[in-house]
């Protein structure tokens, strides 16, 4: 179940400080906003030598277990900045900012927007597969 509370931007150190139970509560009561940099930080841990007798894979696997399943992956901040400089209004409505929507009209005339998988979502799926040992 995705959280319905306040939108929360977090980094790797937040997940490292939480227990598994606390991570579940975090995902339940907050709407996590995941930045593309989060995945870069986590995957960089695979390259590090880890202390305390744990392998890099164990450290990253622990983070994967705590990573929220709700919320969404924000578009990269560089693209947001460029869009705003070109005069586009960036709305702050307590939801992750994603791109790639295309307008559609239903057979009964209603309008909507369809979002295909963004590069950030594709990266999240790939990163989570790597973290879970699926690739």
Helices (H), the chain: 12-17, 20-29, 36-44, 56-66, 77-85, 119-131
pLDDT digits (tens, 9 = 90+) for 25-35: 988 888 888 88
Number of helical H runs and strand E runs in the chain: 6, 5
Sheet containing 72-73: give its strands across: 7-9, 31-34, 72-73
Angle between helix axes 36-44 and 119-131 (nearest 10 degrees) is 30
pLDDT digits (tens, 9 = 90+) for 4-44: 778 888 888 888 899 999 988 988 888 888 888 888 888 78
pLDDT digits (tens, 9 = 90+) for 64-119: 888 887 777 788 888 888 989 999 888 777 677 777 778 899 999 999 888 776 66
State the pLDDT at residue 3.
Answer: 59
State the pLDDT at residue 44.
Answer: 80
Q: Coil, strand or helix: which one is 104?
A: strand
- Cβ-Cβ contacts under 8 Å for 76 (sequence gap 6 or more): 36, 120
* Dihedral of alpha carbons 103, 100, 2, 93, sign: negative
C-alpha 128/C-alpha 108 separation (Å) is 39
């Amino acid at each position: 179940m995705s959280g319905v509370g306040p939108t929360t931007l977090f980094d790797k150190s937040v997940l490292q400080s939480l227990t598994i139970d606390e991570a579940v509560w975090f995902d339940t009561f907050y709407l996590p906003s995941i930045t593309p940099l989060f995945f870069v930080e986590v995957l960089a841990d695979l390259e590090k030598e880890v202390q305390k007798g744990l392998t890099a894979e164990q450290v990253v696997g622990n983070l994967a277990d705590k990573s929220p399943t709700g919320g969404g992956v924000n578009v990269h901040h560089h693209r947001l900045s460029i869009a705003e400089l070109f005069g586009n209004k960036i709305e702050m409505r307590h939801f992750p900012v994603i791109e790639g929507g295309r307008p559609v009209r239903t057979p009964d005339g209603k309008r909507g927007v369809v979002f295909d998988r963004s590069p950030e979502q594709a990266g999240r799926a790939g990163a989570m597969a790597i973290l879970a040992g699926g690739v």
